[in-house]
Structure 1
């Protein structure tokens, strides 16, 4: 397998060795220099080439199939820099001093001193000691693309391709890894001794880390460790595992999520966002996270994302926190629980044009965003209202067409804690139908033009508080009702008159009514008592209307052709309704 560092070091040694490997000492003046003899006539004949053979066409079938275009000796330009260079031809050793740099492609090796021993094939890179401060400076830095390793020293053998690094530091994904000794067996396997890894934001002085005595690291594949123990502020804790496995792949795989460590003024030391990730399949995943504080507070979250191409996608999150403030026995001790449910779902319009489902849910404790000890979305703390909606609609094609919609809405005021829900809302409709119309031909007369529609709306409204939400008291003040509406209309002609008539029928069903009673007390004053009665009841309302209208057309022509106009055309529309007469006049002058 191609390895940039191996190629870099090999070509550095090879090119530098060209300066002396092919040189020779000049002979002394007493030693005669041999003179090259002229070729003999027989040999001279062998060297002659017939010109006709050069221009003779070659048989393409006899070409060597193994002949390929030669690749350049170096794929990239090799650059080496240093303040001082030393070449020991006797011992076959090259040394680069102070700010030594070797670059090849995207690979770069920097160190205070780089020594290349061409006899053994070993390459050493390490820092130098400052004479004035006695500090160890210019430590080796190996960079390959975005991956950076910073050890105290490096030993590499160009023949065996093995390497040793001491006190190295690198970043692998979200891990900052420190190892006392790292052994490179081949291009794909590394062994580490006494390795520390952490997700702390301060890798130089982490407040917590995990210590493993032995680690096997396979780049971009996995990290396998033996006994792992957690350290907090450089103090070992009893928290540990007999072994651990961390997948390092671009593909989704289930695995442990390492928690972060810190200190909270109110809850004490904590471990947050630790848990497990489940890569269930290509369509859905699941993440379970938890938080724990030393004063007894805890919380957990369940998160899931799902998607199916050309069908739907969404995500779900449920958070719960049990918060403890201060300690038992103190006056400021307080214990409370908060939660939040967030669900977003959308359907691809191409999935089913006749039905659609969507959801946008954000409900929970009113003080969740302001009091949560694991709040990431700081902008959400400014929200004064939580709102949610879930809707499903369906259309049945045909004659008549039937539509219905079922929805749930939720509104919650953060300041007052008042919660209003419509659970559920139902709307249905049947398109306009002509029950007496003929199957073929135009509709004529009052009967054939009769048409009607049907609409229904049902609603269950709940008004409660944040404390009573999702409890038995939540439904105590619920109000429910159903309203049916049937509009009927027709039109016909009577001579020159057009007649249209319409009626509207509404019926309302309720499941709770109020009874008002006037009561006269002992002082002779009348008071009103209102009683709430449970049970089914209904009432109906009617509306009707009719109109008669006609249109009168007139034309007056200018027969003597005097003036600028030729004719006056007018239209008069008369509409007679109940308790209403409309006269519409339209006059047009033709010039």
Structure 2
């Protein structure tokens, strides 16, 4: 308002005291001047007095800057009042005022533009109740209060009953005094992480607070209140960092007692905020019996380029006491590295890593891990790869990959360091690049592929030792496939091709009979060697469509059957030139062998192969009338995703020429919530009394056409009261990263580093759960259920036994909006016992979380109780009690 008044006054001055003469089109004449006779000036000027007069004219006072230096926007529902005498602007009822980065809303706002002050307060409604409390926002700082007195020049303010958010904290103070942009003093304040600042379930009370927004909170004597009841928990002073950026600091450990290792301090350490792109967390554990653990965790990311994290964990585990017969000691470690490159970073090259390697017993004996899914897993896998595409003509693709596969039961490790793969894109020598490729000749194409490996087979005990690299195998394989495809008789597709392979190795073997020791010795021969093989294959197939119509007035209008039969032929000659003989015993008996045994890419084929393969693939689909009568088109439903039959016939075999018939099928039922997969092996040949196959058809031996030698069926069913499948997808799940399942059929993992994660969804997604508090549901109980069943039958040698028959069930149910129960269990009908079982209970206490996990049976028998504040700022305020499984060091 001030600039508008200034303009009005300035205009009035010009209109009343000023005179301006203008003209148009014609220039007025200038008056004629009359010269005056020159007269002598008799007044003498004194230079000193003249200089003094000049200094007096100089004004040393600075002009006062206008009170408002930006546009003021305001609005009010009832009225706006301007008092020119008091220099005040009053806005009443739903008043809003905007000045620079200041946003102020209240029932009444009074602005004194001479004193540069603003007052905001609440007003009474028609029933005499106060409403429209002041809302003040400057930048990212928001304050709600009963009344506000603010000077927008000095930035000083006084606020009564202020309510503001400072990071995860919500602060409410009786009187707040703001000195400037950076310091606020609050008297008789309480702060909490509860979403309801007016009636929190808990808070910390203090008589004084010094608040530096966005940086820190310093308090005096602080006492914790729960449900408006003071507790003995108090501090003489408190300091809370409030920086919006990551800050380095100590991580407070958890104190407790272990049933086998004594008292402990766990998950204590230091967090290093090294930069905006990466960080480092160093934590450790110590037990009074001497066990300890160290962990290094780092996350890194650069937008539009890459992101990843690294976990390095080491544990020194001690059982019992030195000198006792059950004393044992082991060292366990685990290394995990995940790296993902953004697809937009470089379209022609890509680097990725997914590493999970370490001791085979780490997940079963870890001091700081309660991950059941990972402990039940028996494989660890890793892969680090780099690939690049060269945009030449033809295009070239190359990649380097290092892999690792580890069996935690046998403790065997297979690694490739590294694997080189390169390929040249398909070349069509008889067709132009832009011409259609049709027919036998124009479709003829060839490729070049290269694969090289350094493969290591070792064990846990020899990992990263000289013995590990001593037995390393190296080899390269070149292959040139030549193929074509074309149609015959219009409906039949034919493919034919040949493949030439050349294998280079750097290790071969030599066998000979040692007469003095009466045994065969095998010697490893270092040096380059190679062998070459080739084969031929072809296939012919077609697609047959059949539709069975039942009428448009039927519920099932039609069933569509798609059949894809195919016949294939493969020929591989015998490469006898790569086979030698050696003396087997003292009698001079000879046996054949090839020096390439144990190589990376197998051995050249010795037997002549001439096989004919037969396959029939089927799918069944139905058209049904849609329940929605407004839709005119029928709905398609898949009855059988696949029903496949495969077998082969060896044209060169003198007996047992037919291979067993393999049957497999799969389908989805109940709106794709149930998945069923079935497979069986049918042998056309009979067996003798010893269980060996004989060259007699089973039907000629008094049996049926086929003899079922094996079969298995797997059923998975997931359902939820919300109508979805009940599955919870967790990206980058630590359980899956450790090698376990993402679902909870084998229970849920407990992360002892951070137990603030809840089974509940966010409050915004729960909807009515916030309104109903802890009361019971009236009718609908949210729940989800997962069901898995597996049955395996074996009759290879007429044993007719069920080798596997088990069921697994897991589910979760919301007993009340804030009580949730979950379970995972199963039963093995072969072993006649209950499989892994876990019970889970959780209570959402708004700002707090409480849970109880119990594994009542088996080797993982344990329980754990936790209650603590969800907020990361106060995550150290918790109580954790647990009994870990009894583990035996191996």
- TM-score (normalizing by structure 1): 0.52
In the alignment, the residues of structure 2 paired with residue 306 and residue 578 of structure 1 have an alpha-carbon distance, to the nearest angstrom, of 52
Give the C-alpha shift of residue 485 in structure 1. 2.0
- Work out whether 1:353 is the aligned partner of 2:347: yes
In the alignment, the residues of structure 2 paired with residue 389 and residue 376 of structure 1 have an alpha-carbon distance, to the nearest angstrom, of 25
Give the C-alpha shift of residue 316 in structure 1. 1.0
- Work out whether 1:280 is the aligned partner of 2:280: no
Q: 2:367 aligns with which of 373, 387, 401?
A: 373
Residue 539 (structure 1) aligns with: 531
Residue 511 (structure 2) aligns with: 516
CA distances 1:200-228 after superposition (whole Å, capped 9, x unpaired): xxx9688xxxx97555xxxxxxx2xxxxx
Residue 259 (structure 2) aligns with: 265
Change (3 A) 1:324 1:528: closer
Tell me the SS of whatever aligns to 1:380: helix
Q: 1:249 aligns with which of 243, 251, 259?
A: 243
Contact 2:210/2:219, CA 8 A, preserved across alignment: no
Give the C-alpha shift of residue 393 in structure 1. 1.1
Structure with the bigger RCO (C-alpha within 8 Å, sep 6+) is 2
CA distances 1:235-259 after superposition (whole Å, capped 9, x unpaired): xxxxxxxxxxx52223212222222
CA distances 1:485-513 after superposition (whole Å, capped 9, x unpaired): 2356899xxxxxxxx99875432111111
Tell me the SS of whatever aligns to 1:425: strand
Q: 1:507 aligns with which of 488, 502, 515?
A: 502
In the alignment, the residues of structure 2 paired with residue 205 and residue 476 of structure 1 have an alpha-carbon distance, to the nearest angstrom, of 65
1:540-559 matches, cutoff 5 A: 540-541=532-533
In the alignment, the residues of structure 2 paired with residue 439 and residue 340 of structure 1 have an alpha-carbon distance, to the nearest angstrom, of 52
Residue 389 (structure 1) aligns with: 383
Tell me the SS of whatever aligns to 1:69: strand
Residue 17 (structure 1) aligns with: none
Residue 43 (structure 1) aligns with: none
In the alignment, the residues of structure 2 paired with residue 353 and residue 258 of structure 1 have an alpha-carbon distance, to the nearest angstrom, of 44
Contact 1:394/1:404, CA 8 A, preserved across alignment: yes
Contact 2:294/2:314, CA 8 A, preserved across alignment: yes
Change (3 A) 1:103 1:485: same
Contact 1:179/1:192, CA 8 A, preserved across alignment: no
In the alignment, the residues of structure 1 paired with residue 293 and residue 301 of structure 2 have an alpha-carbon distance, to the nearest angstrom, of 27
In the alignment, the residues of structure 2 paired with residue 400 and residue 364 of structure 1 have an alpha-carbon distance, to the nearest angstrom, of 42
Contact 2:400/2:418, CA 8 A, preserved across alignment: yes
In the alignment, the residues of structure 2 paired with residue 426 and residue 516 of structure 1 have an alpha-carbon distance, to the nearest angstrom, of 31
Residue 69 (structure 1) aligns with: 91
Contact 1:302/1:319, CA 8 A, preserved across alignment: yes
Contact 1:78/1:104, CA 8 A, preserved across alignment: no
1:480-499 matches, cutoff 5 A: 480-487=474-481
Tell me the SS of whatever aligns to 1:474: helix
Contact 2:223/2:231, CA 8 A, preserved across alignment: no
Structure 1 unmatched runs, 5+? 1-61, 80-101, 110-122, 124-141, 198-202, 216-222, 224-245, 492-499, 547-576, 581-591
CA distances 1:146-191 after superposition (whole Å, capped 9, x unpaired): 86899xxx9979999987769x896799xxx999974346897976
In the alignment, the residues of structure 1 paired with residue 483 and residue 176 of structure 2 have an alpha-carbon distance, to the nearest angstrom, of 97
- Work out whether 1:364 is the aligned partner of 2:364: no
In the alignment, the residues of structure 2 paired with residue 343 and residue 533 of structure 1 have an alpha-carbon distance, to the nearest angstrom, of 37
In the alignment, the residues of structure 1 paired with residue 417 and residue 388 of structure 2 have an alpha-carbon distance, to the nearest angstrom, of 19
1:290-301 matches, cutoff 5 A: 290-301=284-295
Residue 183 (structure 1) aligns with: 208
Structure index of larger Rg: 1
Contact 2:536/2:572, CA 8 A, preserved across alignment: no
In the alignment, the residues of structure 1 paired with residue 402 and residue 176 of structure 2 have an alpha-carbon distance, to the nearest angstrom, of 70
Tell me the SS of whatever aligns to 2:461: coil
In the alignment, the residues of structure 1 paired with residue 450 and residue 212 of structure 2 have an alpha-carbon distance, to the nearest angstrom, of 72
Change (3 A) 1:294 1:212: farther
In the alignment, the residues of structure 2 paired with residue 262 and residue 295 of structure 1 have an alpha-carbon distance, to the nearest angstrom, of 13
Structure 2 unmatched runs, 5+? 1-81, 96-106, 109-119, 126-130, 135-142, 147-159, 196-201, 225-229, 486-494, 539-570, 574-609, 611-890
Tell me the SS of whatever aligns to 1:470: coil
Give the C-alpha shift of residue 414 in structure 1. 1.6
Number of residue pairs matched by the alignment: 381
Tell me the SS of whatever aligns to 1:458: strand
1:64-463 matches, cutoff 5 A: 67=89, 69-70=91-92, 71=95, 72-73=107-108, 182-184=207-209, 192=219, 214-215=237-238, 223=239, 247-375=241-369, 377-433=371-427, 453-463=447-457
Over aligned residues, Cα RMSD in angstroms? 5.4
- TM-score (normalizing by structure 2): 0.36
Change (3 A) 1:341 1:205: farther
Contact 2:402/2:417, CA 8 A, preserved across alignment: yes
